[in-house]
Structure 1
């Protein structure tokens, strides 16, 4: 038998995250600095396109880019594997080559599906993330996770594929509904819960969306910086990066149970964070009173802390067992020691068994 060993140098990845009000007006110049190519495909959804599509297209055209707009239906239901051939066909029709660029203009769904397209089309072409939702700006556009959903669960097919740049303009958040602004705040609150008690405390003092917007550049930058620090230490999600999944094991199961329709991501994660912390408090794994602190901040930012129909947990828990965060048949749930301090806890679905009786006790 001949045995050969392939040794590759550790791939070095670095990219800038630019955060500035009004940055959308400079998109063309920003992208032009990243590439010698002058062909770009912008993947977006119908809602975002109606607000910002023409502006971004014009900015790119002004810098000499030949621009193809690929406009998808909005919503999680679009982020499916069956959507990929349609996107690939449009990229081929647009004449995109390996030296060209895909721009993801939209929220988390667009960032994920456009990123997955960029990672796999021609085995990978340059990607620029322009997140337009708070959730995408503070979380999903940074860190290189891209992918699509399967009927069996969320994000079960995907890749680690980093953008060449992330362009964040907080002013685009003004067109978000209160519901989707709150969706993003769930991820903001998550960062305080797992990493930074002082940041969590600051969020508990911002009593309205307007108050948040006065501090928005700092809030986005703090979240991105925490995520940067975590991802640099654990890119492939085998250790510390799992902390970013606080509330997500149960949250993703809730989303899947409701077919990604009735409860959006941030609202599901909010319920997951509060519910999980109640369970871990009851097991004396988390400092007493932590769940109350989380519920207080969630309520302040228009987020739920419990499921309207606790009986649904009997069916929701079957989705937990399909969670992709299982390693070696163990479920790794993220628990708080206290606000600002988190750790992964090896367990199985039985950890959530108390929910089958009808949900949380207050």
Structure 2
């Protein structure tokens, strides 16, 4: 097993006495990694043993410093991290160790755990009984395992260690790592949210693991409401439904018409009515299988039905994979414009499977490339920084036919760019607004008769923004020409066939209108983008005319 196929780190969770520290050392030696013990880190930082820290400062103080040490441990790659038994209790700890980590739970019966702890005490391998095990260790371990067991079960792999030696446990974990190498079943990113963590998986075939990942995340869930549209259903609806059925879920399929018309109050009411009459419960899962429309609609339904159901996004279009499935924006359209009613509602799982793109029409692939190009422009301004995506795009001989391996790399880069922004500003109070590059004019262009696909409208919107920047002398003509060449190479329009007056009227209702002024995301002189207000309407009209408006 080559190092390139290994997860960045292995995290061991489980109760006291399960052997995490000993196995961590053995695994690290076998993998060429470094072993880290969070309890040891706490003791080094506090200058006292864990049991003494507990006695002097209490459990809340211990959990706080434990989280701090965990984050520090997870900032490194090539590590095997042994954690304390209660580390699984805090959602933010999962967010810290979940992305790009294989999480392995070591468990055993309470009697086995108590026997091991007693033996460690007799052999002098531990200084004192763990603070939470004082009194009757077996009885207390039963309570702790009952409380924490469902959380341990969320690990990628659970190893029952009762009858295994440390060598055998190590081999079990190595066997799992070999089997999963390069499979994509370890989340690439993980977003902390107020409600639940959003884990993002990227990999060919990851959709076939949907039921297993859902069961691990929501062990009490029994039913799936699979929302898809008439275009996706013949290609993927049946097979994905079978994935969940084989995984032990009952599946209710909700099929909607393809296109923006489905993003309506009427469709939301219809879907919620179908679910209510079908006996929906708070334990059920909503699965959005489709492009941006299905993701927006199903996400909004999940946010309002029974005041919130767990959500899985399974994007089938390039545009949804690189943009709308990540970040938690959901919305429907109204007579006043596009995406006027919605909510920030994070999916618990996002499964990005490039295999879905095999059945995507060429024009939809081209539409999705607009968001890819957008991300390449804004990357220098994001927390991720750099220009790696722009360099990747410019190195390709064609943007219409991208090799599978390169496409997966491009998907990961795009998601990483958006992830870094959403992580810093989930609710679009500041930095996240840069993701609207191309959208201020683009959404109005799209809503003007819906003659353009979303990506095509965003492409034209980026050109309008770049022309405004050109007139403001923020960029030069070569910058605009380079953007036009990228869009053209991807098969996207560079000329708008419509009326400037209609677009300007629609823009006056834009939800990004703050205090009567539109916020434009414009190219910055030194690279990247920035928010600009006070752009004169006449200049916007001139920019629209520049790109072909009448």
Q: Normalised by the size of structure 2, how large is the TM-score? A: 0.61
Map of 2:151 onto structure 1: none
Structure 2, unaligned runs of 5 or more:
1-192, 381-386
How many residue pairs are counted as aligned between the two chains? 348
1:145 matched to 2:329? The reply is yes
Deviations 1:283-320 (A, max 9, x none): 112244211110010011101122034xx112211011
Q: Distance in 2 between matches of 1:123 and 1:33?
A: 23
What is the CA distance between 1:353 and its match in structure 2? Answer: 2.7
CA RMSD, Structure 1 to Structure 2 (Å): 1.8
Report what 1:297 is aligned to: 486
Kindly indicate whether the alpha-carbon contact (under 8 Å) linking 1:286 and 1:335 is maintained by their aligned counterparts in 2: no
Q: Is the 8 A contact 1:44 1:70 kept in 2?
A: yes
User: Counterpart of 1:273 in 2: which secondary structure?
Assistant: helix
2:206 to 16, 20, 23: 23
Aligned: 1:62 with 2:246: yes
Q: Which residue of 2 aligns with 1:323?
A: 510
Structure ranking higher on relative contact order (CA contacts 8 Å, 6+ apart): 1
1:78 aligned onto 2:257: no
1:158 aligns with 2:355: no
Q: Aligned equivalents of 2:526 and 2:442: distance in 1?
A: 19
SS state of the match for residue 155, structure 1?
A: strand
**Residues 247 and 269 in structure 1, CA contact (< 8 A), matched pair in contact too:** yes
Matches of 1:172 and 1:79, distance apart in 2: 22
Q: Measure the CA separation in 2 of the matches of 1:257 and 1:113.
A: 21
CA–CA distance in 2 between the matches of 1:43 and 1:51?
Answer: 14
Structure 1: distance between partners of 2:243 and 2:374: 35
2:372 to 188, 201, 211: 188
User: Equivalents in 1 of 2:367, 2:547: separation in Å?
Assistant: 22
Residues 313, 359 of structure 1: 8 Å contact kept: no
In structure 2, the partner of 1:253 is 444
Deviation per CA, 1:229-273, whole angstroms, max 9, x where unpaired?
111111111211010000001010011112x2x101000000110
1:49–1:340 distance in 2 versus 1, CA, 3 Å: farther
Deviation of 1:202 (Å): 1.8
Tell me the CA shift for residue 93 of structure 1. Answer: 2.4
CA distance in 2, matches of 1:11, 1:355: 41
Q: Confirm or deny: 8 A CA contact 1:44 1:106 kept in the other structure.
A: yes
Distance 2:394 2:510 in 1: 31
For 2:134, the equivalent position in structure 1 comes to none
**Structure 1 residues 13, 64: closer, same or farther in 2, change over 3 A?**
closer
Alignment check: 8 A CA contact 2:203 2:352 kept:
yes
**Counterpart in the other structure of 2:305:** 121
Taking the aligned partners of 2:335 and 2:474, their CA distance within structure 1 comes to: 34
2:425 is the counterpart of 1:234: yes
Find out whether 1:345 has 2:535 as its counterpart: no
Give the 3-state SS of the residue equivalent to 1:210 in structure 2.
coil
Q: Residue 391 of structure 2 aligns with which residue?
A: 201
Provide closer, same or farther for how the CA distance between residues 339 and 14 of structure 1 changes in structure 2, counting only shifts above 3 A: farther
Distance 2:354 2:527 in 1: 25
Partner Cα separation in structure 1 for residue 546 and residue 502 of structure 2 = 12
Q: Which runs of 4 or more aligned residues in structure 1 lie more than 4 Å from their structure 2 counterparts after TM superposition?
A: none
Q: Is the 8 A contact 1:321 1:349 kept in 2?
A: no
Query: Offset at 1:84?
Result: 1.0
Q: 1:127 is paired with a residue of what secondary structure?
A: strand
Counterparts of 2:509 and 2:535, CA distance in 1: 11
What 5-or-longer segments of structure 1 have no aligned partner?
1-9
Provide the rounded CA distance (Å) in 2 between the counterparts of 1:263 and 1:12.
Answer: 35
Q: 1:81 to 1:339 in 2, by over 3 A?
A: farther
Which is greater in Rg?
Answer: 2
Q: Report the secondary structure of 1:209's partner residue.
A: coil
Residue 205 of structure 1 and its aligned partner are, at CA, apart by 2.7
Q: Given the superposition, is the C-alpha separation of residues 321 and 25 from structure 1 closer, same or farther in structure 2, using an over 3 Å criterion?
A: same
**Is 1:14 matched with 2:204?**
no
